[in-house]
Amino acid sequence: MKRRLAILDDFQRVALELADWSVVREHYDIDTFDRVIAVEDRPAVLRPYEVLVAMRERTPFPASLLERLPGLRLLVTTGMWNRAIDMEAAARLGVVVCGTGSSVNAPVELAWALILGLARRVHLEDAALRRGEWQTGVGIELHGKTLAVLGLGRLGREMARIGRAFGMEVIAWSQNMTPLRAEEGGAKLVSRDEFFATADVLTVHVVLSDRTRGLIGSNELRMMKRTALLVNTSRGAIVDEEALAAALNDGAIGGAALDVYGAEPPRADCPLVKASRTLLTPHIGITTDRNYRMYYTQAAEDVLAFTQGRRLRALNGGVSPIASRA
């Protein structure tokens, strides 16, 4: 009997189409799940599988879940980091965790689509035209405006580069940023207060952590211009949703474009869903054909290497792939 492998959270049902799993199928029967499995059902549903392929952080793997999956040997995550996996627990339990490459272009392109859509009122004019109306408002040009990049990692640096191509002044800030790092990323480091006060477009590109959770709250939003636009394609919890909704509804800032939310999908009572001045997308920053092909092709490679007793793109200590768990 073949061993079992599950591909989780394949919302678009494309995992098996966008990569060649034929050699993997020689070793494993493959099941796919197109929806997030309920928390209470995960131990029972996932228990039969030796290998799990996770799509980013859609399904968390804390120690409490890993401990209830005694047959699990390999956990593959798309991307080369996943804060929703308890790496230490996985290593302690003998579960090897491997990753895949990830496109910088996909989330950066979406961030700019949201910036341009918000600035030129694309969503509002589209809706108005469908109602039979014509030219209902005036957009803004980006040239000469100030792009404020929160975080200058891989994505932030690319955002800064494109901002300069639009003729924008690029500033940056984060809790640990230095003038040299900002300069290397193509931006000018400013103080926290100046960062929020002078931004015409503020785009978020920091990792969610205890330090960045709620980093943008009512105080920061009150510093911003009434015309400023806020774009978040990083993690929803970095921005206080209640405070942002209040700022939008009160006209304290010009608008917000969001791809991420504190809970995903957003709950029915999420204040941002009903807030004015918003452009909302359902966490599609990574969902491009090229990025998904990379994810699933390299996930299949990780699994195949595992069957050969090798670790490919390993993210934790784990144990030998051939070792058994008691």
Mean local confidence (pLDDT), 9-35: 97
242, two tokens: 């209640």
Instruction: Check whether 2 has a pLDDT greater than 90.
Output: no
What digits encode the pLDDT tens for the residues 46-62?
Answer: 999 999 999 999 999 99
pLDDT at 320: 43
Amino acid found at 9: D
Residue 85 DSSP symbol:
B
- Helix, strand, coil distribution of the chain in percent, nearest 5: 35, 15, 50
> Nearest 5°: CA angle at 56, between 69 and 301?
80
What digits encode the pLDDT tens for the residues 217-237?
Answer: 999 999 999 999 999 999 999
Set 3, 264, 293, 313: catalytic member: 264
Query: With left for phi above 0 and alpha for psi between -120 and 50, is residue 79 left, alpha or beta?
Result: left
Helices 154-165 and 105-119: crossing angle in degrees, nearest 10, is 40
Taking a C-beta distance cutoff of 8 angstroms, is the pair 131, 110 a contact?
A: no
323 band by pLDDT with thresholds 50, 70 and 90: very low
Q: Dmax of the chain from CA atoms? A: 69
318 band by pLDDT with thresholds 50, 70 and 90: low
Set 277, 283, 301, 311: catalytic member: 283
pLDDT, the chain, mean:
95
Amino acid found at 147: L
**CA–CA dist 55, 166 (Å, integer):** 33
pLDDT at 33: 98
Sorted by where each starts, the structural domains of the chain and their CATH numbers stand as 3-103+288-307 (3.40.50.720), 105-280 (3.40.50.720)
> Nearest 5°: CA angle at 191, between 188 and 194?
90
Instruction: Check whether 321 has a pLDDT greater than 80.
Output: no
At 57, is the secondary structure helix, strand, or coil? coil
What percentage of the chain carries pLDDT values higher than 90?
95
Task: Output the pTM of the full model.
Answer: 0.90
241, two tokens: 């949703």
Q: Is 241 labeled as catalytic in the residue annotation? A: no
Residue 210 DSSP symbol:
T
Q: Is 123 labeled as catalytic in the residue annotation? A: no
Length of the chain: 326
Nearest to 102 by CA among 307, 291, 244: 291
Set 73, 235, 277, 311: catalytic member: 235
Q: For tokens 């774009």, name the residue.
A: 231
According to DSSP, the β-strands at 51-54 and 3-7 are: parallel
What percentage of the chain carries pLDDT values higher than 70?
97
Q: Is 313 labeled as catalytic in the residue annotation? A: no
What digits encode the pLDDT tens for the residues 172-223?
Answer: 999 999 999 999 999 999 999 999 999 999 999 999 999 999 999 999 999 9
pLDDT at 1: 72
The CA-atom distances, in angstroms, between 118 and each of 14, 131, 162, 281 are 30, 19, 17, 12
